[in-house]
Structure 1
């Protein structure tokens, strides 16, 4: 399976409009399905689709501009306007860095599609391009999951040591995650690209170890983190109901943040996974016409995959009231100057609620701690 994914190395054959004989076109992709002893049957030879390339090139241009503006604004706010940092801020900044890995490489891919999938740069540039785009996908998935689990700890397990981790500890965790992400995608830097199409690798009856590894990684890095995020949402929802935290701002915002995480996650990554798996099945069944349709849909779904750099700044606004306030001020959208202390207090329990919490004892104190800890994120 060649997933021609700018944020992930290709596992699916390039898109095609029809089943063609072997073509000298540099963007053609040959799938060798025949093997000794099998009846002779014409294999599928999908070629690049000019229609899909013409669709992706302008879409990626728009996503590049919007992603650059949104993430530059986010980086400025986090680095220059956000004090003090929290563990959640560390993971949000890591997500911004992951988005820039995609953004700085999109112009090369726009050029690639404008030229109908002809890579006019050197092979080393192709390796780096595919490596950084694949790293973007993995890092986006990892840090979206880290944000969800951080919210889970703040609400469900507020007394756990990880819930009270310092910013320095969170930075060490983020650094370890980055190291693992780079190792997971390092095989792309060792792959040889000999033609003018910058694709990760090809499918055949004897896939390489690198191909098998990437196929497994592509599937696991979607479904496993999704399971963790859904677990966090269900756990927070049950905790809010059990502890009667529905009237408190912190837990409510935690649920909103996770809802946005799931929305970004599914919109950006689910289409390519569905059409990618469908293309792999069609490839194995030698259903050439079905493979053409599925691969074109997969290729078009890349527009959703790269949309993550545009949607992530929306997540930052839901995640932190401070970020939203600063963004509105920098964009000139604030109607009046707000008192930061007043804004923060609006996310804490009211005086009456705190008084009631003291009377009810331990349960009330736990509610108050959860609200305060989550709201300060």
Structure 2
């Protein structure tokens, strides 16, 4: 997400030229490995697994979101080096929409996974009423509806006019779209809100695992995977959304120093590139997290059942 041309003598030509090579170095491995891993995950979930569970539905949805994002990377690499004719403006807008649908669809799907895991492990008895494949499917459909309805109207108006008659796809968003309402919604509903939910659910799940299975190797393994999956979410997306906020300050005139503006311009482009690595991390972390969560859920349910029996027997004495 590069910035639009600003009324300033500060030049970002050197940064843009550097990013042409940096994007190739980052995007090519992400595209190749991410596509293979997510296609393999879809084959496993949709073909090899005979029974659809809540976890497999969420994982399938996550893989689909990641693939939508990955399929935009070749176009994004091409658009970095070449401007497109105005006839491709509509096609460019669709690609930009799908790119952000993939990003925020993945974020919301990960939030659903964290919530589902929290319910399954921390509330195993209530999970019978709250969790079901049908409920998971409805949640996934809801994610698609939310991200499409929120992304398309905003991104459609992001493009600014261009005096050369060419389209800078994935770049040069118009300055008037960097307003407080758009950026606030993006930061709060696109990242901060889901991040708080994911952190809360992960912390509560880890606490429950520590309390119910301190001596269990499965529970310890599950805790490590939750930590790694949490890191796989926060590490790619936190810097990129911080960069968006800093770029917003530049457009609002809060940051006017040319050196700082150049660094922020480089920072937002690099972090947006690196945020796509989540497509590779998702395919690895969350699949194994689901496997461990199912094993840990059984041990916790047994532990809680024993505690309840002990409580009832004590009260009868």
Matched-pair contact (CA < 8 Å) for 1:44–1:286: no
Cα pair distance change 1:170/1:162, threshold 3 Å: farther
Cα pair distance change 1:364/1:183, threshold 3 Å: farther
Cα pair distance change 1:158/1:320, threshold 3 Å: closer
Choose between structure 1 and 2 for higher RCO, CA contacts under 8 A separated by at least 6 residues.
Answer: 2
Q: Are positions 1:119 and 2:84 aligned together?
A: yes
CA distance in 1, matches of 2:36, 2:20: 25
| 1:307 aligned to which of 241, 257, 277 | 277
**Structure 2 counterpart of 1:149:** 115
**Structure 1 counterpart of 2:66:** 99
Q: Are positions 1:318 and 2:281 aligned together?
A: no
**Structure 2 counterpart of 1:158:** 124
Q: Which structure is larger by alpha-carbon Rg, 1 or 2?
A: 1
Q: How far does residue 71 in structure 1 lie from its aligned partner after superposition? A: 0.7
Q: Which sections of structure 1, spanning at least 5 residues, go unmatched?
A: 5-11, 14-28, 33-41, 323-343, 366-377
Q: Are positions 1:65 and 2:36 aligned together?
A: no
Cα pair distance change 1:52/1:363, threshold 3 Å: farther
Q: String of CA shifts for 1:76-104, please: whole Å, max 9, x gaps.
A: 00001113121111111110010111121
**Structure 2 counterpart of 1:75:** 42
CA distance in 1, matches of 2:100, 2:298: 40
Q: How far does residue 304 in structure 1 lie from its aligned partner after superposition? A: 1.1
- SS of the aligned residue for 1:266 comes to helix
Q: How far does residue 73 in structure 1 lie from its aligned partner after superposition? A: 0.5
Q: String of CA shifts for 1:130-182, please: whole Å, max 9, x gaps.
A: 10011111111101111111111111111225765221121012111211111
**Higher helix fraction: Structure 1 or Structure 2?**
2
Cα pair distance change 1:60/1:359, threshold 3 Å: closer
CA distance in 1, matches of 2:54, 2:172: 35
Cα pair distance change 1:164/1:279, threshold 3 Å: closer
**Structure 2 counterpart of 1:278:** 246
For residues 2-17 of structure 1, the aligned pairs below 5 Å read 4=1, 13=3
Number of matched pairs: 300
User: What TM-score do the two structures reach when normalised by structure 2?
Assistant: 0.82
Q: String of CA shifts for 1:214-237, please: whole Å, max 9, x gaps.
A: 312331222221111221122123
| 1:138 aligned to which of 82, 96, 104 | 104
Q: Which moved more, 1:147-156 or 1:282-291?
A: 282-291
Q: Which sections of structure 2, spanning at least 5 residues, go unmatched?
A: 313-317
**Structure 2 counterpart of 1:36:** none
Matched-pair contact (CA < 8 Å) for 2:65–2:102: yes
CA distance in 1, matches of 2:127, 2:172: 42
CA distance in 2, matches of 1:140, 1:84: 23
For residues 209-248 of structure 1, the aligned pairs below 5 Å read 211-220=179-188, 221-242=190-211, 244-248=212-216
Matched-pair contact (CA < 8 Å) for 1:148–1:232: yes
**Structure 2 counterpart of 1:197:** 168
Q: How far does residue 346 in structure 1 lie from its aligned partner after superposition? A: 10
**Structure 1 counterpart of 2:6:** 31
